[in-house]
Amino acid sequence: MEYRKEYFSDARPEGLTEVGVTRQRSDALGHVTGKTQYYADRHFAGLLHLKMVRSPHHHARIVSIDTAKALKVPGVVRILTAQDVPQNIYTILCLIQVEPNDEPVLAFDKVRYKGEQIVAILAESDAAARDAAARVKITYDVLPAVFDVEEALKPEAPLVNEYHGRNYFTYEGHHCRRVRYGDVESAFGAADFVVEEMYQSSPIEHAPTETTGCIVVPDQNDRYTCYSNTQALYFTLDNTALILKSPFHKLRLVGGTVGGGFGGKVDVITEPVAFLAAMLTRRPVKYEFSRAEEMQVSSPRAAERIYIKDGLMKDGRIIARKVTLYVDAGAYSRHSPYGTTKAAAHMPGPYTIPNVWIDCHCVYTNRTPSSAMRGFGVTIGDFALEVQMDKLARRIGMDPMAFRILNAYRDGDMKAHRKEVEGAALVECIQAAADLAGWPLDDHYKAMSSMKREA
């Protein structure tokens, strides 16, 4: 493989030698000998096992919780409910001013998705905790549930999350994250073709081989250490301190090796409850998702539905793009308001289009809260955009590579977000890819460059 160092050579320091060289992973020896230490590879005397009692319903009012029989199971040490949590309502991204707090650590008045955590059992063994969990009696008043983003936005839809008051996240007073540039409606009128398509995806579970979990251990001097496989150590520390109303310096997090994450371990779910349990019992506590819990309640990649309407000219120029995008956040915000903003920032794709109209909705439904996963907010959008690009190229009988080169960003172009393009390289990337794939690219397009837009 030839590395095209000539591009942007002026922007790169000399003497870079690492790209293209194979290096042994620094953790390889630990991995192949089994000595790499994951969070659970530790022994603590007196360890308590935490098992969660979860909602069997998608949407229900909690009428009563009876833990009396569970407390009598041999080996059960303590049972936690919402009343034990100092600041029960939180949202992970309150740390970057995403508001309001909208999610309980332990549900108390109602449950908003199937598998939501309600009661935490602490027992001497995992089996005893499971036996006790089966003996907690919770009575529910089942409510109608909504599972579809567009259904959820209808006025008659059941209200999922009262902290928002509506089934969508509000962005600076707006019902969705918006981009407005030029005048799409006039451009559609002037276009040779108008192409409108719908794309959608389902939630995707990361399914890491190591399930989400942590162990919290009381240290000396009223401090607590948490061994966690979180991918977001400081988010976890800060959120936990807020939830527990604890001085930050009392909490210590030890992370590092994660047995597969892919974004599925950035939410703050197991640690606050485990910290609380360790504080209240003064014993080490392990809270580990079972495989079934990992599949059912760990946040997946959000399902999305995307409508793209394009105004296309016979010569290959896209003159207008209107995108209406719905992100299924599930019952709570987690990282989805941020993911939806990323989706809006990612549209209309790496193409210079003079008229752009984007609405990205972050919608609440009674599904498992969605959150981060490898390129969340943009991956499904890219799938939709690039399938759309192929459809547009086919409509006018143009080579799809050439079609993309023609519309690609050039340095100096104005993006729909009103930021001037700099350091673009898409044209060169497509040229190199066509070359490697033996794709017959016309000389006219081979001569194009990201550095300037041809006349």
Interface with another protein (CB under 8 A):
24-25, 27-38, 40-41, 43, 73, 125, 127-128, 130-131, 133-134, 206-211, 257-262, 290-292
For another protein, the closer of residues 286 and 342 by Cβ is 286
CA within 13 Å, CB half, 446: 8
Give the tokens for residue 196.
Answer: 């409108």
- Kindly state the helix (H) or strand (E) to which residue 369 belongs, with its residue range: none
For another protein, the closer of residues 86 and 260 by Cβ is 260
Contact of 337 with 93, CB cutoff 8 Å: yes
List residues bridging with 168 in a β-sheet.
363
List residues bridging with 252 in a β-sheet.
225
For another protein, the closer of residues 29 and 142 by Cβ is 29
Closest by CA to 416, choosing from 353, 324, 339, 360, is 353
Q: Least CB distance from residue 392 to another protein, whole Å?
A: 32
Q: Least CB distance from residue 125 to another protein, whole Å?
A: 6
User: What is the distance between the alpha carbons of residues 441 and 447, in angstroms, rounded to a whole number?
Assistant: 10
Contact of 454 with 30, CB cutoff 8 Å: no
Q: Least CB distance from residue 334 to another protein, whole Å?
A: 21
For another protein, the closer of residues 102 and 210 by Cβ is 210
- Kindly state the helix (H) or strand (E) to which residue 252 belongs, with its residue range: strand 251-254
Helix, coil or strand: residue 174: strand
Q: Least CB distance from residue 289 to another protein, whole Å?
A: 11
Contact of 229 with 41, CB cutoff 8 Å: no
Dihedral pair phi/psi, residue 212, rounded to 5°: -60, 140
Residue 199's CB: how many other CB atoms inside 10 A?
17
For another protein, the closer of residues 158 and 259 by Cβ is 259
Q: Least CB distance from residue 74 to another protein, whole Å?
A: 8
Residue 79's CB: how many other CB atoms inside 10 A?
21
For another protein, the closer of residues 126 and 238 by Cβ is 126
Q: Least CB distance from residue 31 to another protein, whole Å?
A: 3
Give the tokens for residue 424.
Answer: 């673009």
Q: Least CB distance from residue 165 to another protein, whole Å?
A: 36
For another protein, the closer of residues 258 and 344 by Cβ is 258
